[in-house]
Amino acid sequence: MQQYRITLLPGDGIGPEIMAVAVDVLKAVASQFNLEFVFQSALIGGAAIDAVGEPLPQETLATCQNSEAVLLAAIGGPKWDTLPRHLRPETGLLGLRAGLQLFANLRPAKILPQLIDASSLKPEVVSGVDLMVVRELTGGIYFGQPRGIFATETGEKRGVNTMAYSESEIERIGRVAFETARKRGGKLCSVDKANVLEVSQLWRDRLNQLSSEYADVELTHLYVDNAAMQLVRAPRQFDTIVTGNLFGDILSDIAAMLTGSIGMLPSASLGSAAPGLFEPVHGSAPDIAGQDKANPLAMVLSAAMMLRYALNQPVAADRIEQAVLQVLDQGDRTPDIMSPGMNPLGCQGMGEALLQALSRAA
Ligand code: NAD
């Protein structure tokens, strides 16, 4: 029997509620596919601040490093917003990403026919959209040096950031993107601003060189301004998009919003070596925490991404994704995706519906 150590980070707000559903789903899938998950829970974010006075205890990072994959629900909330920056929940999450050296962020955006009305775009534009944004996460302008606000000779202040990528940074994100495209529709679109920026010219050259090693993947290029336009004009043209940190930050949010429902969006962050971090795109939703109103599907779909990208169990991942489609098909809805005539469920009820769908599939 294949055994995997999974670190669970339930975090804050709705985190523990949605994590409980994901764990039940993983247990059900484990018994169906002869897998064994050894779950270890650890503290992060506000929960860690309350318990031990810091948002990312050393013990949590060590537990994560010692596992095959990390499932995170969400961190943060108003209770901790006024603490100094080094004690904020978000600092814990940034520390975790850095500590695990997660340089690639994968965010799928898929329109589910059952929820097509949730999109703010016309159904004929978004119908059939199924794309993935691969964003470089640890380089580019968010980390480049020099940076700061400096006084000039005239005494005027000047803000400076630096967009820089080395060939090796481009190559490692490029490889993740080509591999991802290979597992999907075999089309990779690289987004840059090579008409203006030297750093983008290097990005484009290096990706072109890499493409000779991935003859089965079709590589194209778009400037970022055109890519933003195309994403809302004709999003079906995209399969896999790869881009740097800044452009990826913006484009992945545009792509996510094509679907219109934040409670449905999973993500994965990967490094060169295990473990990857799998988490919903949404936050801790303090406004609905503890009320059994949270949509657990983004969390459950993050667990499916974990099976696919970290544990190489694509059939088990498919099984979970099919169960999600099935509960939506039968009209089950949490409040955030509710529409007239559908069957209202809470977070726990949605979890039970998923377990029933899984047991029917077995
Ligand atoms: P949010 O994503 O938590 O919530 C935005 C809105 O979406 C709220 O109305 C919320 O009720 C709703 N929502 C979010 N997830 C939902 C779900 N699964 N089911 C149903 N409704 C859902 O963003 P926010 O309100 O800007 O931030 C709240 C806290 O979360 C802040 O402390 C923020 O720093 C933190 N945050 C954490 C992460 C993370 O853990 N990765 C990401 C974003 C925000």
The per-residue pLDDT for 352 is 98
What is the arithmetic mean of pLDDT over 217-221? 98
Query: Considering the chain, what percentage of its residues have pLDDT values greater than 70?
Result: 100
Measured by CA distance, the residue closest to atom 22 of ligand 1 is 263
The per-residue pLDDT for range 130-187, each reduced to its tens digit, is 999 999 999 999 889 999 999 999 999 999 999 999 999 999 999 999 999 998 999 9
User: What is the model's pTM?
Assistant: 0.91
Nearest CA to ligand 1 atom 8: 285
What confidence score (pLDDT) does residue 272 get?
87
At 284-293, the pLDDT tens digits run 999 999 999 9
Indicate the range of 143-147, 234-238, 322-326 predicted with least confidence: 143-147
Average pLDDT over residues 64-78: 97
The dihedral region occupied by 331, where left means phi > 0, alpha psi between -120 and 50, and beta the remainder, is: left
Residue 313 has pLDDT above 90, yes or no: yes
Task: Report the C-alpha gap between 94 and 104 in whole angstroms.
Answer: 14
From ligand 1's centre to the CA of 196, what distance in Å?
Answer: 36
What is residue 76's three-state secondary structure? coil
| pLDDT at residue 274 is higher than 80 | no
Helices (H), the chain: 15-33, 45-52, 58-65, 89-99, 123-126, 167-183, 198-211, 224-233, 245-259, 297-309, 314-329, 347-361
C-alpha 284 to ligand 1 mean position (Å): 4
Atom 42, ligand 1: which residue's CA is nearest?
283
Residues near ligand 1 (Cβ within 6 A): 14, 74-77, 90, 93, 262-263, 279, 282-288, 294-295, 298, 336
Rama region for 9: left / alpha / beta (φ>0; ψ in -120 to 50; rest)? beta
Q: What are phi and psi of 292, to 5 degrees?
A: 55, 40
What residues act catalytically? Answer: 142, 193, 225, 249, 253
Confidence of residue 2 (pLDDT cuts 50, 70, 90): confident
pLDDT in tens, 338-354: 989 999 999 999 999 99
Mean of all residue pLDDT scores within the chain: 96
> For 85-119, what is each residue's pLDDT tens digit?
889 999 999 899 989 999 999 999 999 999 998 88
Residue 246 C-alpha to ligand 1 middle, in angstroms? 21
The confidence score (pLDDT) of residue 85 equals: 85
User: Can you state the angle between helices 58-65 and 89-99, rounded to 10 degrees?
Assistant: 40
